[in-house]
Structure 1
Amino acid sequence: MPPQIRPISAELQANATNNLNEVPERIEADLQAIKTWIDQQPHLNPRTDDQFLIAFLRGCKYSLERTKAKLDKYYTLRTKYPELFNITNLDDPKLREIQRQGPIVYLPNLLNGVRLGIFRLGVVPAEKYSIGEVMQVGQVMQEIALIEDDYAIINGVILIMDMSGATASHMFQMTPGLAKKMTAFSEEALPVRPKAQHFVNTITGFETVFNMFKPMMSKKQQGRLFVHSKIDSLLEQVPLEYLPKEYGGQNGSLAEIIAEWDTKFDAYREHFKDNAKYVTNEKLRPGKPIDFDSIYGTEGSFRKLDVD
Structure 2
Amino acid sequence: MSKGLRIETDPLRPETMKIAEEQLRETPERVKEATEKLRELLHADRTIHYRDDDEFLLIFLRPCKFYPESALEFMRRIAEFKKNNSDILANLMPEDERDAFVGNDVVNILKDRDQKGRRVLIVNVGGIWDTKRVSADQLFRVFYLIHEAAILEPETQVNGVVVIMNFDGMGMKQVKELGPTFSRRLLSFIQDAMPVRLKEVHFINEPWIFNMVWQLFKPLVRTKLRGRMFFHKANMTSLHKHLDPKFLPTNYGGELPEMNYTSADWFPCVEIYLDHIQKWNSYGFVNNQVKQ
- Is 1:114–1:156's contact at 8 Å kept on the other side of the alignment? yes
Q: Following TM superposition, by how much is the alpha carbon of 1:85 offset from its aligned partner in structure 2, in angstroms?
A: 4.5
Residues 244 and 85 (structure 1), Cα distance of their counterparts in 2 relative to 1, 3 Å cut: farther
Whole-Å Cα distance in 1 between the matches of residues 279 and 113 of structure 2?
Answer: 31
Whole-Å Cα distance in 2 between the matches of residues 128 and 8 of structure 1?
Answer: 39
Residues 250 and 143 (structure 1), Cα distance of their counterparts in 2 relative to 1, 3 Å cut: farther
Secondary structure in 2 matching 1:91? helix
Map 1:154-169; keep pairs closer than 5 Å: 154-169=158-173
Residues 276 and 240 (structure 1), Cα distance of their counterparts in 2 relative to 1, 3 Å cut: closer
- Is 1:35–1:48's contact at 8 Å kept on the other side of the alignment? yes
- Is 2:166–2:206's contact at 8 Å kept on the other side of the alignment? yes
Aligned residue identity for 1:221: L
Q: Following TM superposition, by how much is the alpha carbon of 1:6 offset from its aligned partner in structure 2, in angstroms?
A: 5.7
Secondary structure in 1 matching 2:285? coil
1:194-233 superposed Cα distances (whole Å, 9 cap, x missing partner): 1111100012431122132122122121111111221333
Q: Following TM superposition, by how much is the alpha carbon of 1:163 offset from its aligned partner in structure 2, in angstroms?
A: 0.8
Matching residue of 2:76: 72
Matching residue of 1:103: 106
**Which of 247, 259, 280 lines up with 1:275 in the alignment?**
280
Whole-Å Cα distance in 2 between the matches of residues 227 and 78 of structure 1?
Answer: 31
Whole-Å Cα distance in 2 between the matches of residues 138 and 244 of structure 1?
Answer: 22
Aligned residue identity for 1:72: R
**Which of 215, 220, 227 lines up with 1:216 in the alignment?**
220
1:53 and 2:63 equivalent?
Answer: no
Residues 71 and 251 (structure 1), Cα distance of their counterparts in 2 relative to 1, 3 Å cut: farther
Map 1:204-243; keep pairs closer than 5 Å: 204-232=208-236, 233-243=238-248
Alignment size in residue pairs: 277
**Which of 125, 150, 158 lines up with 1:145 in the alignment?**
150
1:82-114 superposed Cα distances (whole Å, 9 cap, x missing partner): 34455532212xx11211223222222322222
Which consecutive unaligned segments of at least 5 residues does structure 2 have?
Answer: 1-8
Whole-Å Cα distance in 1 between the matches of residues 173 and 256 of structure 2?
Answer: 31
Matching residue of 1:262: 267
Structure 1's consecutive aligned runs of 4 or more residues displaced over 4 angstroms after TM superposition are 83-87, 250-253
**Which of 34, 37, 40 lines up with 1:36 in the alignment?**
40
Secondary structure in 2 matching 1:197? strand
- Is 2:101–2:264's contact at 8 Å kept on the other side of the alignment? no
Whole-Å Cα distance in 2 between the matches of residues 258 and 173 of structure 1?
Answer: 20
Q: Following TM superposition, by how much is the alpha carbon of 1:245 offset from its aligned partner in structure 2, in angstroms?
A: 4.3
Whole-Å Cα distance in 2 between the matches of residues 90 and 26 of structure 1?
Answer: 35
Q: TM-score, normalised by structure 1?
A: 0.81
- Is 2:205–2:234's contact at 8 Å kept on the other side of the alignment? yes
1:238-286 superposed Cα distances (whole Å, 9 cap, x missing partner): 2433323444534565443534412112202232233342231469xxx
Aligned residue identity for 2:234: K
- Is 1:87–1:272's contact at 8 Å kept on the other side of the alignment? no
Root-mean-square deviation (CA, aligned residues, Å) is 2.4
Aligned residue identity for 2:139: V
Aligned residue identity for 2:30: R
- Is 1:168–1:204's contact at 8 Å kept on the other side of the alignment? no
Residues 85 and 245 (structure 1), Cα distance of their counterparts in 2 relative to 1, 3 Å cut: farther
Secondary structure in 1 matching 2:165? strand
Matching residue of 1:172: 176
Aligned residue identity for 1:171: V
Q: Following TM superposition, by how much is the alpha carbon of 1:121 offset from its aligned partner in structure 2, in angstroms?
A: 1.9
Q: Following TM superposition, by how much is the alpha carbon of 1:13 offset from its aligned partner in structure 2, in angstroms?
A: 0.8
Whole-Å Cα distance in 2 between the matches of residues 153 and 252 of structure 1?
Answer: 27
Secondary structure in 1 matching 2:95? coil
Whole-Å Cα distance in 2 between the matches of residues 91 and 63 of structure 1?
Answer: 36
**Which of 105, 126, 134 lines up with 2:131 in the alignment?**
126
Residues 51 and 260 (structure 1), Cα distance of their counterparts in 2 relative to 1, 3 Å cut: farther
Q: Percent identity?
A: 25
Whole-Å Cα distance in 2 between the matches of residues 256 and 85 of structure 1?
Answer: 27
Which consecutive unaligned segments of at least 5 residues does structure 1 have?
Answer: 284-308
1:156-209 superposed Cα distances (whole Å, 9 cap, x missing partner): 222110112332211222232332222122111212111111100012431122
Matching residue of 1:292: none
Whole-Å Cα distance in 1 between the matches of residues 272 and 258 of structure 2?
Answer: 21
1:32-74 superposed Cα distances (whole Å, 9 cap, x missing partner): 2111111122221123333221021110111222211111111
